[in-house]
Structure 1
Amino acid sequence: MRNENRRWVLHPAGRQKDFVKRYQFLHMTARNNSFDELAVLHELKRFLPALSPGRTFTHRNPLEAFQHLHFHDALRHASEMLGYQTSLSLEEYRSLYNSKRVKPDVLEKVLVEKKGAAKTFEWQDKVLMKKFPAAVAAPRIGRLRANWQKQYKTDPDTCVHPRLFRILGNYLDHGVSDWSFPVRGQGFLDSMREVEANSFISAFNTPRARKMLLQTDPSIGDLLAIIVGDEALFKQYLFDQQFSHRGWSGLVATLERNSSNLLNGSHITLRELIVFELLLEIDVLDDRLGKQWDPLASSLASPPSDLFAPVPASEKSEVLAIWQEAVEWSYYEEVLAGLSRNSPNQHSSHTLGTVRTSAPESLCIIGRPTVVRDTPPGYRAALHHYDFSLDRDGAELERMLETVVPSLGATNLEYFFSRTNFADVNGGNALGDQLIGLFGVADGTRGDLRTGLPTELTEGLEPIRLLCIVEHFHEMVLKVIGRRSVGRRSVGRRSVAQWIMNEWVHLVVIDPLTRELRVLKNGEMVGYKSDPLKYSLSVAGDW
């Protein structure tokens, strides 16, 4: 950053050019009716990771923005749109099969369920043997802003990010601050205005962006009109920009929801972060290109791929979905076979044996303690005491599902996606990270905050969704789930139903009288058959 003591003096020709630019800017802003700043900010917050102080669990699905989709559809969309690694690699899945961790009869059962008996052998060959191209297309995120390099041979992020992250670290003041931020008790932008007005050192190298900060209160749309030009691209540009440092952006969005995590009454909003970053971009572009550069949209050869367009299934995505189901049901098989027994002599404690290397919170039971005694050794089950005989209308079960499913499901998925390297878009948690106080890790003060759990907490774990086992009659369970998607509080209720109906958690119902098991598949309760002696699934017929 350079000293900024010059006055901005324009020659007459410069004044005329500036007037024209100002007129164009105001004209573009006046037409900016399709860009809804508040709506886009709200949507960004849903997509950004919830990075919380102390790396505590947020009890939020890391892919909350995709939760309206079925689990495997959501994984495919998150991968194509945002570049997330949402599953194990094909090689890892095949290694689990070769080591007998994935049972052949379970894999065959999954193939029959998903592809039909007639196509089982065809898809078995694809799952076990077919080689897919290693090179894949880059994710959609970032493609629009990549045109800065194509059009102007410049990358604003190389100059903006080091400045931005250092200022954010100083303002938030949790472990990286070289000096104490001089202003407390007011918003981030107001603090920056006071710093700029009273400091010999400026955050800006050129006058325009600094003047806009000090003398105006620009909206996001105002600044995007200068930088992008076409309001139809404003939303996608903001997603590209904020996901280039999704850790810092996710932290700011989390702190906006709970500013008590900051010291001395400071507070920051995602809008303030974006406004300041856009001003820094204008400053860098003015510094690199002079004042004669055109908005990004003016020279696009073709519009970028729509970030939010549907992502069709590919053969490889279907193969990965089959493998994930086979891994999970191979794990659940022994548990469910044990629960289908009804002999006291065969009961075994769930606290004995070696705990399987699955993600924590992979198994919960809502029922009487006798159900847990049927859990085989080596499995940890979270028991939530519930007696179906005392809950005739299912009201207590409804309240319990509303509490248990989102909480345990979110914790489980945090481990699940950290294990699949969901947090590894830009290099992973294990690369020489430096601790940033309470808020996460970064590659020094120049890098983005890392999301997800540390590698040492997930190494060796298998990503497995939560299996929720409910002791009740399956008709009542379906009735309760149906109630969660209707009513006056439909938004809150629907989220619990989405967890279950879209299979972000697996649901199994055990009949309290017959011990019959039913699995929720595609919105229906399907019978599950097992051999209690061999712990194996029946390949033909029901689950």
Structure 2
Amino acid sequence: MTARNNSFDEQAVLHELKQFLPALSPGKTFTYRNPLEGFQEQTFDDALRHASEMLGYRTTLSLEEYRSLYNSKRVKPGVLEKVLVEKKGAANTFEWQDKVLMKKFPAAAESPSKIGKLRANWQKQYKTDLDARVHPRLFRILGNYLDHGVSDWKFPVRGKGFLDSMREVESNSFVSAFNTPRARNLLLQASSSINDLLTVIVGDEMLFKQYLFDQQFAHRGWSGLVATLEIGREISPNGSNITLRELIVFELLLEIDVLDDRLGRHWEPLSYRLPAPPEDLFAPVPVGEKSEVLAIWQEAVEWSYYEAILAELRQDPQNTRNQTGTRVTETTFANAVDSLCIIGQPSLLRSVTAEHRAFRHGYDFSLDPNGEMLEEILEAVVPSLGVANLECFFARTGLAGMDDILTDQMIGLLGLADTARGDLQAPLPAGLTKDFEPMRLLCVVEQFPETVLEVIDRLAVQSTCVGRRSVGRRSIALWLLNEWVHLVVIDPVSRELRVLKNRKMITYKSAPRIVIEDAVH
């Protein structure tokens, strides 16, 4: 393969990488980011599928875990049937019920995701495992440079950027980070861009972006930490600061160093020996039968929990407290953490029983005919509660799936004790989330449905600033329109419930009560 001009845009690729990398901060600072921010333009189901098959993230429970929830009566048969009808139509319900409950799917391949497959050709072509030779040096230097007091060796230069600090070390030390002269000289010249280095290593500009994704997701924890530090413009207590660009430049130099050291100058850019173009990392992921089954199960898990809550809320809250035998107190899950938000009048807020952990926000629809107050509430509530909810959701599914070497330096940088080793897969330790049921935030609003839709339309075209970061109000609308958060609207007059589905308000109907005694397998 020969090099082709594809106008590689370094800044655009760096920006995209930051959106896809996990957000990790020193001391567990809250990062105010959707863990799958790079996929938020897609619907929730599509995002989970793409994140899984593109990057290898674990975004759902396993099929066996879902079926176990059904066998234990946590997923209600009537809710599952309702979801099947909604997604597949009444005529296909029986066929899909068999797939959901009984069908055996082939075990996942050893490496089912696309990420990493381009760089794997170094091993195939030159019998060289770049990660095994580069990562130990890279992680030791990063850990010492960003040290928060846990490193045995103190980085000798403070108060400068990462690459400037490395240049000073290389210029004034008898010991080098490199084994060969070319990489060291490229660092000292300070003129090499990411594009220049990728030309040496990869050759074909059309592969540059995919190569960088492969490279950085091979240690997504470290890359996510650096990206988060840069986004937050954080400077560590020792005066050090670093950018994702600096990390990439230094890692590319280390790769050149390893290849020169092992192969001399007898190696060519990676693209020159590729027998065929690699599978496109960013190509759309087709909908497979198993992914559809998992999406059905996830909906059934969520609405099995929310049905009882909505049965309480749909009654007239002024009269409910004086009625006997009409309150619905049945709950399916005891551990639905950060999964409920109620926005309405005090009488509505009181109608949710105490055992439900809910965020309650007072709001009087009669004082807000145009929804301007509601717009401000959703702007504040949806992204903050949505992020907290997804942190719990993906901590339970094990989303991050990191294979990083968790050095003592990184554990210290993240404010984790040694006992947390292995729990870096998500911002919440796995031990705290093992009994949680992964489910999206349910946001219930007491207002006329048409008014709520007008509010969402306005959010979709405006922008604002939250904290130190500029957050587009359009992204807030996407939380709702793409169903990262479930939205239910209670008509304040008729008490009818509407659900935002496929960007439309549809009438909510509770599931039929069905009893199925046979267990599934």
State if a TM-score over 0.5 links the two structures.
Answer: yes
What displacement does 1:538 show? 7.5
Deviations 1:373-427 (CA, angstroms, capped at 9, x unpaired) = 2213521110011111111211110011011001000110011011101022439
Query: Aligned to 2:145, which of 165, 171, 193?
Result: 171
Asked if 1 retains the 8 angstrom alpha-carbon contact of 2:315 and 2:495, the reply is yes
Structure 2 residue corresponding to 1:436, chosen from 393, 398, 411: 411
Structure 2 residue matching 1:259: 3-state secondary structure: coil
Instruction: Name the TM-score, length of structure 2 as normaliser.
Output: 0.90
Q: Which residue is 2:467 aligned to?
A: none
The residue that corresponds to 1:255 in the other structure is 229
Unaligned runs of 5+ in 1: 1-26, 531-535
Q: How far does residue 449 in structure 1 lie from its aligned partner after superposition?
A: 6.1
Offset at 1:266? 1.9
* Distance (whole Å) between structure 1 residues aligned to residue 324 and residue 237 of structure 2: 53
Q: Which residue of 1 is the match for residue 519 of structure 2?
A: none
Counterpart of 2:478 in structure 1 is: 498
- Give, in angstroms, the shift of residue 537 of structure 1: 4.9
Q: How does 1:376-415 map to 2 (within 5 A)?
A: 376-415=353-392
Is 1:215–2:193 an aligned residue pair? no
Contact preservation (8 Å) 1:55, 1:438: no
SS in 2 for 1:260: coil
Task: Give the drift of 1:353.
Answer: 10
Hey, what's the Cα distance between the residues in 2 that align with 1:153 and 1:447? 29
Corresponding residue for residue 194 of structure 1? 168
> How big is the shift at 1:450?
4.4
- The reply to whether residue 37 of structure 1 matches residue 37 of structure 2 is no
> Which residues in structure 2 correspond to 1:458-473 (within 5 Å)?
458-473=433-448
Q: CA offset at residue 313 of structure 1?
A: 0.2
Q: Deviations over 1:288-331 (max 9, x none)?
A: 11111111111101111101000010000000000000000000
Deviations 1:22-68 (A, max 9, x none): xxxxx97xx86611111111111111111122223322111111111
Q: In the aligned structure 2, how far is the partner of 1:267 from the partner of 1:331?
A: 45
Aligned to 1:475: 450
Alignment partner of 2:278 out of 297, 304, 308: 304
Residue 526 of structure 1: how far off its partner (Å): 1.3
**How big is each residue's C-alpha offset from its partner over 1:208-253, in whole Å with a ceiling of 9 and x where there is no partner?**
1011111242100111111111111111000000000011001101
Cα contact 2:118–2:211 (8 A) shared by 1: yes
**2:88 matched to which residue of 1?**
115
Moved more, 103-112 or 512-521: 512-521
Which residue of 321, 326, 338 corresponds with 2:295? 321
1:452 Cα offset (Å): 3.2
Seen in structure 2, the aligned counterparts of structure 1 residues 354 and 126 have a Cα distance that, compared at 3 Å, is closer
Return closer, same or farther for 1:278/1:346 CA change in 2, 3 Å cut-off.
Answer: farther
Larger radius of gyration: 1
CA distance in 2, matches of 1:439, 1:225: 35
Aligned partners of 2:23 and 2:227 also within 8 Å: yes
Q: Does 1:508 align with 2:488?
A: yes
Q: 2:497 aligns to what?
A: 517
Asked whether the 8 Å contact 2:402–2:424 carries over to 1, the reply is no
2:147 touches 2:238 (CA, 8 Å); kept in 1?
Answer: no
Asked if 2 retains the 8 angstrom alpha-carbon contact of 1:47 and 1:64, the reply is: yes
Inter-partner Cα distance in structure 2 for 1:383 and 1:469: 10
The percentage of aligned residue pairs carrying the same residue is 71
Provide the rounded CA distance (Å) in 2 between the counterparts of 1:128 and 1:427. 36
1:325 counterpart SS class = helix
Shift of 1:141: 0.4
Match of 1:456 in 2: 431
Report Cα offsets for 1:474-511 as digits up to 9, x if no partner.
Answer: 11111111111125779812111110010000000112
- Number of matched residues? 501
8 Å contact kept, 1:175–1:436: no
Aligned counterpart, 2:349: 372
The CA distance in 2 between the partners of 1:261 and 1:191, in whole Å, is: 14
Name the structure 1 match of 2:338.
361
Letter in 1 for 2:60: S
- 1:488–1:258 Cα change, 3 Å: closer
Q: CA deviation at 1:366?
A: 0.8
Of 214-223 and 113-122, deviating more is 214-223
Q: 1:244 — aligned with what?
A: 218
Residues 318-372 of structure 1, C-alpha deviation per residue, up to 9 Å, x if partnerless?
A: 0000000000000000000011122222599x9x999944442100011122112
- CA distance in 1 between partners of 2:425 and 2:363 (Å): 39
Structure 1 contact 365–384 (Cα < 8 Å) conserved? yes
- Normalised by the length of structure 1, the TM-score is 0.87
Partner Cα distance (1:434, 1:211) in 2 = 28
In 1, Cα distance between equivalents of 2:360 and 2:63: 34
- Please say if residues 411 and 418 of structure 2, whose CA atoms lie closer than 8 Å, have aligned partners that are also in contact: no
Question: 1:359·1:415 contact (CA, 8 Å) conserved in 2?
Answer: no
Contact in 1 for aligned 2:308/2:330 (Cα 8 Å) = no
Gaps of 5+ in 2: 465-469, 515-521
Q: What corresponds to 1:279 in structure 2?
A: 253
Question: Which whole-Å CA distance do the structure 2 matches of 1:412 and 1:108 have between them?
Answer: 26
| Amino acid aligned to 1:58 | T
Q: Equivalent residue for 2:518? A: none
How far apart in 2 are the matches of 1:303 and 1:175?
A: 46
State which drifts further: 363-372 or 418-427.
418-427
Q: Secondary structure in 1 aligned to 2:135?
A: helix
RMSD (Å), alpha carbons: 2.8
Distance in 2 (CA, whole Å) between partners of 1:171 and 1:358 is: 41
* Structure 1 CA distance for aligned equivalents of residues 134 and 324 of structure 2: 62
User: Is the CA contact (8 Å cut-off) linking 1:51 and 1:439 kept in structure 2?
Assistant: yes
Question: Do residues 90 (structure 1) and 67 (structure 2) align?
Answer: no
Write the distance in 1 (CA, Å) between the matches of 2:74 and 2:400: 25
- Cα distance in 2 for partners of 1:427, 1:378 equals 39
**Contact 2:52–2:58 (8 Å) recurs in 1:** yes
Q: Contact conserved, 2:158 with 2:165, CA < 8 A, in 1?
A: yes
